[in-house]
Structure 1
Amino acid sequence: MGNSPEFFDLKDLSDYDRAVKKTGYGRFHYEILAVSAMSILSMGFQNGLSSYVFPAAQCDLNFSSFELGILNTAFMIGGIASCFLWGVLADNLGRKKILFITHLIDAIVTIVCSVLPSVNNLLVCRFLNGFLIGAPGSIIFTYVAEFQPPKYRSPVVCCCGIFFTISWLILPLLAYFILPLENVRFTLGNFIFFAPWRLFLIILAVPELLTALWFLRMPESPKFFLAKGSQAKCLTILRKMYSINTGEHPDQFPVKHLVSDMKTDMQHQVSDNIVCSGKLMRILISMKQQMKSLFRFPLLLVTVLTCTIMFANMFGMFGLGLWLPEIFVRFDQFEKLYPNATPSITELSALVKVNDKNLSCEATFDASVTFNTVVIAATSLVFNFICSVIATKLHFKVIPLVTMLIGGATSASIYFLTSSLQNLVVASLFQASMITANMTIGSIAVELFPTKVVGIAMCLMMFFGRLGAMASSFLFGLYMDTQCHIPIFIVGGVVLLGGLLCFLVPKKSNRSMERTLSITTGIEVAVLSGYDVKFR
């Protein structure tokens, strides 16, 4: 009987997308969304905390503005250094395992960072923070999307982006209430001086630690197991999803067998034929194969487009976006000094000298600046929510296309502003559109890249995005006080170009995989159609 053929009922057979759809939509998906939201909140905290923590720490540790800039750069360098590592590990070891490990270690590093006494130690910690938080930044959207039915993938990714915005709404409010607290200043031993900014770091580490523990109870992505050739494990998770969502017994799940993806099977066989001396070498060879596939037809066009669009997006979001609070401060100062004058943005550079004369080492935050920051974050939150609602009715490239065009237009218009109120309106539109675009660009990758390489594809996109962020930050630092129109118009042009490139993004790959089973004289006959990729 061991050699007897296996018979399939056609109604028990399905491809992955249909199988996920048959799990229903309920409590399981809500928990996946919740843990992903916590992960994205933690990621947002790490990306934004430098704007609040280190100006306060500068008072206690007495480091220069140049050293403050180095601390901010160290975080970005850490993210660039780990871009490809996490993608490869996620594609080879699993998404869940990497998310758990990196969140746990990053929370520990942040807590350690809160008690270190010197700038050099903080420098190492911020590099490690950037290195580790790059994992959820590159993987979490893939992880949550792979549990979703096709109809909900883009809306769920867009919804997850809301929580990144929420993190930037929470940060200034926490900073406003915690950092000025003088009653938490005390000395531990002879070398640790505890201050409010250290308490702020510990508070931000707590949700990340809880997120890591939460991932322990969550399953691995079923699509990851399918890509690895383990249909049994994939079906086990799908049955669990079905049971939690519907309340039925797992055995009642209508899909008993999954149609194999021909390309996935071929890639799996190739990886199985790799004979190496150790696991590290196998991972490196797998990475080389995955990278080659990204720069070969039919993925070459998608790779170039998504990387260029992400470069343009982060060139604006983390370049001009980080300088918007500074522009707020300069507009406010100009209006106080010259109440009857109408400034151009180039005239604001004259206020640098005034600002330098009035520097004081106080960890307090002006209420108007905090208000402006909260308004920008709240606008982004509403914008993200609206886009997540309408995403089900639009093609997945429409939202990044429209938001990138809005971001490019508003960034260029900053040059023509003449008041802080105008700056607040334009800054709110700019940040809202750029954050929404940043999150939805990830949905393009999930839709167009095969499961086998989507992890490393996301990491490649983030690599180019972070290069764009560093280039833009350098450009603003170089010209902001002398010829600020140069970086403003460059950002506007680059972001608009990224938006126009969204027109070229192809529609979803059409993996028409059909299996016709006929039972004749006890022999299974399977016919698999080709892997047809259409650009329409």
Structure 2
Amino acid sequence: MVVKIARVPFEEALNMTGFGKFNLLVFMLCSSIIAAMVFELYSVSYLVPASACELNTTSTQQGLMAGLPLIGVITTSHIWGYLADTRGRKKMLCISMIIGFVAGSSAALAPNWIVLSILKFLSSAAVSGSSALALALIGECTPAIRRSTMLLLTTSALLSSTGVMAILSIPILPMKFSYYIPILNIHFNSWRLLNVIFSLPCALNAIGSMCCYESPKYLLSVGEDEKALEILQGIFKHNSGKSADLYQVESIVLDEDNANKKAKGFWEVLAEQTLPLFKPPLLKSTLLLGFMFILVFICINSFLVWLPFMVDAFMSSVEKGYSGMTMCEMIRVARNETDLEETNSTCSMNRVAMTMVFGICIVLAVLNVVASGVISIIGKRRLFIGIQVMAGVSSILLNVSSMWVVSALLFIAVLSDVINFGFLSAFAVDLYPTFVKAKAICLMVMLGRGSTILGINVLKSLIETNCEAAFYLFGGITLAGGLFGFLLPPDGNLFKQKTKI
């Protein structure tokens, strides 16, 4: 006879389900959802230049096409957070992935650049909240002792998928097939095929989301106590291989205050969901994490966007035997030689640059796995600060290094700041209560990606006019992020702070 315990706090009840097969399946699903989001958001990096010949797009039009997905993310992230906190994580993930697939795959049949831009805007808007929703889901289904590690490992999925996109483009884009579709007056060719392939993960993840459990913590926060208990019993059964009847919890209570939303109108509910983020005791967390997301995103996302361009210039100089030059000098030499060649523009991607992008992304993914393995020993805050300082110092030192091997290692160290995406997400999951968690994460990501628009343009302008200033500026911002990291709560205080909310 199993002794049942009544009114068990949720975190304790979740810990009693153990850690096993179910948690790994949820991790795989959430990582795949994040990869699908990356495929859709960053597909324009490959589709815009590859479609230029067929669609006859100008440089200005290509810039608009590349920027619209990011605008779609910024304008809809907060809405997805609201929907997830009021309608459920699972349901919104299904809808997000379905719309993302329909709009994204339809872009393969776009007759002109305007239709292509609109469809990519819609698909990006659809998947804009999927990353935050996936992080909320995995955080609310994973015992506290493993939560930070699992959240951090999702960054490896993000990095790996970025590299996979580059490697997929190498064999597909050079294909010469072309099938005419009279009704649309288009030729279905290689870049359209690549677009469909980039959209497929959304369809697969829509099916996966339908088969997944809803977050038990969300159900508990909306008064569905019995359903939450049933799901916890199911998690226990999957993890332990034992009967659900052996789960010792009889009833559970949410170990945090829950703002019960009684407003009837959409805008009233949205206000009630948003205002708590800007009132004590959440105000401090919102201001600090919002500022930290901006500092990290504005630097690392800007470098990731221009990664193929910078790597191509760097490798071009190395292959030509240039020595005793800093990275900025290599970039300038490669750029000047390209300007002088006056070659006709082609719509194929540089194979060497794409292969190097893949290699760098895999190295960063491995470093992220290493960081996730030592997080329990060193702690989130210490690792976050250490990575920020290392990346900032490396950016500054790039201006004085004249050995290409050292410059390459320093550049990878700069890019390693991407690991802190996972740390910031883990802090957000820990610091916010369930009824605003998804919205808070979406808001943080929206602020970060909004700053990226500025960072992308500033970095590109500085690389062309004053490259050294670019590394000094962004290195300084990264270092500032490390200093502000001391304001983040130590790991041992996270749970205490959350239970007081």
Partner-residue secondary structure (3-state), 1:342? coil
Residue 149 of structure 1 and its aligned partner are, at CA, apart by: 0.5
Letter in 2 for 1:289: E
Contact 2:17–2:247 under 8 Å retained in 1: yes
**Alignment partner, residue 376 of structure 2:** 392
Q: What residue is the counterpart of 1:435 in the other structure? A: 418
Report if the CA contact (8 A) 1:172-1:373 is conserved.
yes
Please give the per-residue CA displacement for 1:138-192, whole angstroms capped at 9, x wherever unaligned: 211111110000101100001122111110121111111111111x223222611
Matched, 1:424 2:408: yes
2:18 paired residue number? 24
1:241-293 per-residue CA deviation (whole Å, 9 max, x = no partner) reads: 112222323232110011344622xx22xx23x3x3xxxx2x42232123222
Matched, 1:413 2:397: yes
More helix by share: 2
Structure 1 residues without counterparts, runs of 5 or longer? 1-8, 514-530
Aligned partner of 1:140 among 127, 134, 140: 134
Note the C-alpha offset of 1:330.
2.7
Shift of 1:57: 1.1
- 1:77-103 CA distance string (max 9 Å, x none): 111001210111111011111111011
Q: Which residue of 1 aligns with 2:306?
A: 323
Instruction: Name which of structure 1's ranges 50-59 and 436-445 shifts more when overlaid on structure 2.
Output: 50-59
Instruction: Give how far 1:412 is off.
Output: 2.6
Which deviations, in whole Å up to 9, do the C-alpha atoms of 1:102-145 show, x marking residues without a partner? 11111111111011121111111221122112111221111111
Aligned mate of 1:80, from 74, 77, 84: 74
Q: 1:317 & 1:495 partners in 2: Cα distance?
A: 9
Deviates most, 500-509 or 104-113:
500-509
For residues 262 and 364 of structure 1, the distance between their equivalents in structure 2, rounded to whole angstroms, comes to: 54
Are residues 241 and 363 of structure 1, via their aligned partners in 2, closer, same or farther at CA, if it must alter by over 3 Å? same
Following superposition, the deviation at residue 336 of structure 1 comes to 6.3
Preserved CA contact (<8 Å) 2:89 2:215: yes
Aligned partners of 1:166, 1:230: CA distance in 2, in Å? 37
Evaluate the alpha carbon distance shift between residue 223 and residue 203 of structure 1 in structure 2; reply closer, same or farther with a 3 A threshold: same
Q: Which amino acid aligns with 1:386?
A: V
Residues 68-467 of structure 1 mapped to structure 2, 5 A cutoff: 68-182=62-176, 184-189=177-182, 191-261=185-255, 263-264=257-258, 267-268=259-260, 271-272=261-262, 274=263, 276=264, 281=265, 283-334=266-317, 339=322, 342=325, 345=328, 348-349=331-332, 351-352=334-335, 354-356=337-339, 357-418=341-402, 421-431=405-415, 433-467=416-450
Q: Which amino acid aligns with 2:480?
A: L
Corresponding residue to 1:54 among 48, 53, 62: 48
Instruction: Name the CA shift for 1:258/1:512 in 2 (closer, same or farther; >3 Å).
Output: farther
Counterpart of 2:394, as a letter, is: T
Q: Secondary structure at the match of 2:211?
A: coil
Determine if contact 1:345/1:418 at 8 Å carries over to the other structure. no
1:476 equivalent in alignment to 2:459: yes
CA contact (8 A) 1:318 1:469 kept: yes
Aligned AA (1:218): C
Q: Secondary structure at the match of 1:375?
A: helix
What SS does the corresponding residue of 1:127 show, helix, strand or coil?
helix
C-alpha separation in 2, matches of 1:172 and 1:351: 22
Q: Which runs of 5+ in 2 are unaligned?
A: none
| SS of residue in 1 equivalent to 2:66 | helix
Moved more, 308-317 or 328-337: 328-337
Aligned to 1:4: none
- Number of residue pairs aligned between Structure 1 and Structure 2: 495
Structure whose alpha-carbon radius of gyration is higher = 1
Change in Cα spacing, 1:30 to 1:11, as seen in structure 2 (3 Å) is same
Q: TM-score scaled to structure 2, two decimals?
A: 0.92
Cα distance, 1:128–1:453 mapped onto 2, change above 3 Å: same
CA displacement at 1:422 relative to structure 2? 4.2
SS of residue matched to 1:481: helix
Query: Is the 8 Å Cα contact of residues 335 and 341 (structure 1) preserved in structure 2?
Result: no
Local SS of the residue matching 1:263:
coil
| Stretch of structure 1 that moved more, 354-363 or 380-389 | 354-363
Partners in 1 of 2:175 and 2:495 — Cα distance?
58
TM-score by length of 1: 0.87
Task: List per-residue Cα deviations over 1:488-509 (Å, max 9, x = no partner).
Answer: 2221111111122111112444
Take 2:325 and 2:256, find their aligned partners in 1: how far apart are those partners? 66
Amino acid at match of 2:283: L
| Worse-matched range after superposition: 10-19 or 310-319 | 10-19
Determine whether 1:505 maps to 2:481.
Answer: no
Deviates more, 1:87-96 or 1:37-46: 37-46
Aligned residue for 1:11, secondary structure, equals coil
| Aligned pairs for 1:32-51 within 5 A | 32-51=26-45
Give the conservation status (yes or no) of the 8 Å contact 1:302–1:506: no
SS at match of 1:415: coil
Q: Cα gap change, 1:444/1:341 in structure 2, threshold over 3 Å: closer, same or farther?
A: closer
Structure 1 SS opposite 2:223:
coil
> d(CA) in 1 for partners of 2:14 and 2:35?
27
**What amino acid is the match of 1:464?**
L
Quote the Cα distance in structure 1 between the aligned partners of 2:213 and 2:58.
Answer: 46
Distance 2:114 2:309 in 1: 26
Amino-acid identity (%)? 23
Q: In 2 relative to 1, CA 128–415 (structure 1 residues): closer, same or farther, beyond 3 Å?
A: farther
